[in-house]
A and B are shown apart, each in its own frame.
Chain A
Amino acid sequence: MDVELLIGIFPQVLLDGIILGFMYALIALGYTMVYGVLEFINFAHSEIFIVGAFVGVEVMLGLKSVGLLEGLPWPVVLILVLLAGMAGSGLLAVAVERVAYRPLRNAPRLIPLISAIGISFFLQDMIRLFESLWRNAFNLVYPTLDVLNLRFELTETMDVSVKSLVVIVGALLMLWALHLIVNRTKVGTAIRAVAEDQAAASLMGIDVNRIISLTFLIGGAMGGAAGVLFGVQYGLINPYSGFIPGLKAFTAAVLGGIGNIPGAMVGGLVLGLLEAFAASYLSLLTGGAFGAEYKDILAFSLLILILIFRPKGLLGEVVRERA
């Protein structure tokens, strides 16, 4: 075994893991916020996330067709695309809640979950239908900006591209903004109150329905931002590419303790790092017997193990059971 190689790639793998981790953390926030308020797994969140990526690519292609992609300064382009993706996903999340979840709020627990699975499948094919009719293609490629592909060499074996920095900075900004909203504003207090006790919150004059919509809006917007960053980082998107990252992000949310916002961030980072290391080291350590594909099995096995042995997750939020 080539120990030097193993040590040599370590910093690069660490960096890749952090990028992946921030992406998972952003998506996981959507699951965890909704779970915190409604105790319900928003299965369609993976599609809300990928819709953000599609809105982003459409805006970029639109800018390109009028010649503004190169014309505007690149940070402006990125901010525009990010805002568009967030708006698209946030509004979609609110609409989905309104149509498919609100009528079922008092139904037995499995009913809204099945409805959410239905919405997830429906949205996948709606994206496909829309893009097929509009562009005659549903596998879309993010237009590249030259500046994003610049790479800085940090050490001999490790370099970082501008787009990776964009992902990290963007994710950190989002997480910081969310922290401010939830912990420092009146609306944030209301969200926490509804999560704590819906009936009591409504007695205190909080419009519970509005707060639930707002939760979906914020969670959806975070997912949309993650979608745009996903597109920028990996380039190729299709209507079905949200599913696996969504499932991983859910794993991250459970890992950190579902319903717990800092937990989602910790869980995302831990899962991202684990996956990056599994993808790079499994094959090296086992002499090629187990390839990088086993990282998926690792993630799902982790999910199963946590749910069985520590369902409250790393940060130990108590999970309440609804009858």
Chain B
Amino acid sequence: MIQVPLSVGVVAVSALAVAMFPRSVLVFLLFQGSLLFVYRARIPERLRWSLLAAALLVLMPVIGYFNSYYLEVATQVGIFVALALGLNIVVGLAGLLDLGYVAFFAVGAYSWAIFGSPHANIILRGGFPLAGWWFYVFLLVGLAVAATTGILLGLPVLRLHGDYLAIVTLGFGEVIRVLANNLDKPINFTNGPKGITPISRPPTPFGLPYGEYFYFLALLIVVAVVIVNRRLEDSHIGRAWEAIREDEVAARAMGVPLVRMKLMAFACGASFAGVMGVLFSAKQVFINPESFTFLESIGVLAMVILGGMGSIPGAVVGATVVTVLNLQVLKGFSLWLNELKNAGVTVLGYSLADLPTQFEPAKYERMVFGVILVLMMIFRPQGIFPARRRQRELGG
């Protein structure tokens, strides 16, 4: 029972440390680590959830009040957690490798961007942007549009298996990106590479600043997504998905309706991305096709693989680790290196000031994703937090 005071202590100490050193990346990482510790510690359930709730609902916004950049990081983490959970359904549960997942995110983002900005005036006649409260309606519209896109993609590719399916979804993702880049003529739908701006934001309740507002909204959606995921996993639908993943022929013989279940996996996965796309476009105020490249799809895949395919806590932790690596560790390392350079530090007789200017550690996202994917596949294909069923199967 030593873990009870330990858990409380870790959260309190790390929160205090963040309050004292609001600019330190390491301290903020410590805070995130303490949440993970609480999640894994052997403590009464009620204490666990109240600690986590206190940290996420109270401490995090307070930290964000002192350093708004961390709130931005937390919001990004929330967005990617939802994306990873969505892809987790398609890849982890149903075993359909989707390499163009970000396309659904794009569909959601563009659906609000077009109608929530004056841009729609070009397509339809007048009256745009829609009033801010329509944003809430579009959360559902984005969900529906993305789910429909998922079904439309799913229908033709249902006959494909494994790696062919992966390549086709990759091609589909590229098609969506090229369309977003070029549909500024003959009719201007997407404004091409220039992107769409300004996108309206909803009025916030209780006069919350937008940083906090989007943080809480992302958190709310993530909680909803986690609950839906949990319920799905143990439902007959989730079981059917896992049966398809393990052996399609056997699943069909057992009476699993393959077509319907695969379409449902695509639609469910896509819908989470669609909702987050709507939130993303409102948060950013500006979107262009650059945000929806193959790189993003692989980034989300790396999150799912790192955490463990088919595992909900895995997807959450994977998304957090990868986002924090990209947003904080790589950038922090870049800044630190620059400081050393400017201070004229030498290492083993080599002056850091002589480092080539094109060497920017912050730009090596692909290397991070690549290393994660290869190392996980070779050494731990079941992920950091394997799904229970998969753990037994792969001998974790």
Task: Give A contacts to B, CB under 8 Å.
Answer: 40-41, 100, 103-104, 107, 109-115, 117-126, 128-129, 132-133, 135-138, 243, 247, 250-251, 254, 288-291, 293-294, 296-297, 300-301, 303-304, 307-308, 311, 321
Most interface-central of B179, B181, B294, B358 (chain A CB within 10 A): B358
Known contacts A120-B370, A297-B179, A288 near B377 by CB under 8 Å: no
- Count of chain A to chain B residue pairs whose CB atoms are closer than 8 Å in the complex: 141
**Are A289 and B186 in contact (CB-based, < 8 A)?**
yes
Rounded to whole angstroms, the CA-CA distance of A311 and B157 in the bound complex is 12
If the complex has contacts A100-B378, A121-B370, are A308 and B156 also in contact, measured as CB distance less than 8 A?
yes
Whether the Cβ atoms of B366 and A122 lie closer than 8 Å is yes
- Inter-chain CA distance A301–B207, complex, in Å, is 48
- Which of A110, A122, A254 contacts B367 (CB under 8 A)? A122
Apart from A117-B373, A297-B175, list 15 A-B contacts with CB within 8 A.
A103-B378, A111-B381, A113-B162, A118-B369, A121-B367, A121-B373, A132-B356, A132-B358, A138-B358, A243-B294, A291-B182, A301-B171, A307-B157, A307-B164, A311-B160
Given A293-B178, A293-B182: A118 touches B164 (CB 8 Å cut-off): no
Majority secondary structure of chain A interface residues (helix, strand, loop or mixed): helix
- Chain A residue at minimal CB-CB distance from B246: A108
**Do A294 and B178 touch across chains, with their CB atoms under 8 A apart?**
yes
A115-B377, A308-B156 known; A125-B367 Cβ under 8 A: yes
Cα distance, A293 to B163, chains bound together (Å)? 27
**Chain B 103-154 interface residues, beta-carbon cutoff 8 Å to A:** none
CB distance from A306 to the nearest CB of B (A): 10
Q: Scan B12-38; emit 1 where CB is below 8 A from any A CB, else 0.
A: 000000000000000000000000000
In chain B between 355 and 387, which residues have their CB closer than 8 angstroms to a CB of chain A?
355-360, 363-364, 366-367, 369-374, 377-378, 381
Classify chain B: how many residues form its interface, as a range. Answer: 35 or more
Q: How far is the CA of A254 from the CA of B167 in the complex (A)?
A: 11
B72 at interface by CB-CB < 8 Å: no
Which A residues touch B305, using CB under 8 A?
Answer: 114
Residue on B with the closest CB to A96? B374
Please, what's the 1-or-0 string for B297-312, where 1 marks a CB less than 8 Å from any CB in chain A? 0100110010000000
List which B158-176 residues lie within 8 A (CB) of chain A: 159-164, 166-168, 170-172, 174-175
Residue of B with least CB distance to A291: B182
B175 partner residues in chain A, CB cutoff 8 A? 296-297, 300-301
User: Does B244 interact with chain A (Cβ within 8 Å)?
Assistant: no
A117 to B302 Cα, complex, angstroms = 10
B46 interfacial contact with A, CB 8 Å: no
Q: Which residues from chain A contact B377 at a C-beta distance below 8 Å?
A: 100, 104, 107, 111-112, 114-115, 118
Chain B residues within 8 Å of A290, by CB = 182, 186
Cα distance A247–B99 in the bound complex, in angstroms: 13
Measured in the bound complex, the distance between the Cα atoms of B174 and A297 in whole Å is 8
CB neighbours (8 Å) of A113 from chain B are 97, 162-163, 166
A323 to chain B, nearest CB (A): 9
Dominant SS among interface residues on chain B: helix
Answer yes or no: B260 CB below 8 A from chain A CBs: no
Decide: B182 and A129 in contact? CB cutoff 8 A: no
Residue contact B163 to A109, C-beta cutoff 8 Å: yes
| A98 vs chain B, min Cβ distance (A) | 12
Once bound together, how far apart are the Cα atoms of A321 and B302, in whole Å? 26
Question: In B181-196, which residues have CB < 8 Å from any A CB?
Answer: 181-182, 185-186
B149 CB, nearest partner CB in chain A, Å: 15
Q: What's the Cα separation between A321 and B359 when bound, in Å?
A: 45
In the complex, are the beta carbons of A100 and B374 less than 8 A apart? yes
The complex places the Cα of A308 from the Cα of B302 at a distance, in Å, of: 28
6 A-B pairs whose Cβ atoms sit less than 8 Å apart in the complex: A41-B167, A138-B358, A254-B167, A289-B186, A294-B178, A297-B178
A117 contact set on B, CB distance < 8 A: 99, 298, 301, 370, 373
Complex alpha-carbon distance, A19 and B100, angstroms = 30
Q: Are B157 and A304 in contact (CB under 8 A)?
A: yes
Name the contact of B174 in the complex, choosing from A111, A133, A294, A300 (C-beta under 8 A).
Answer: A300
CB distance from A157 to the nearest CB of B (A): 28
A107 touches B156 (CB 8 A): no
A229-B360 Cα distance, complex, nearest whole Å: 30
Beta-carbon contact of B374 and A307 below 8 Å: no
CB neighbours (8 Å) of B162 from chain A are: 109-110, 113
Look across to chain A and name the residue whose beta carbon is closest to the beta carbon of B359.
A132
- Tell me, in angstroms, the Cα distance from A128 to B163 when the chains sit together: 28
A residues near B161, Cβ cutoff 8 Å? 321
CB distance from B220 to the nearest CB of A (A): 32
Contact present for A125 and B163 (CB under 8 Å) = no
Give A240's nearest chain B residue, CB to CB.
Answer: B366
> CA separation between A100 and B370, bound complex, in Å?
11
Residue from B168, B294, B369, B370 whose CB has the most chain A CB atoms within 10 Å: B370
Distance of B307 from chain A, by nearest CB (Å): 14
Q: In the complex, what residues of B have CB within 8 A of residue A136's CB?
A: 356-359
CB contacts (< 8 Å) of A126 on chain B: these are: 367
**With A and B bound together, what is the CA distance between A71 and B358 in angstroms?**
32
Residues of A within 8 A of B359 (CB): 129, 132-133, 136
A133 partner residues in chain B, CB cutoff 8 A: 355-356, 359
Q: How far is the CA of A283 from the CA of B91 in the complex (A)?
A: 39
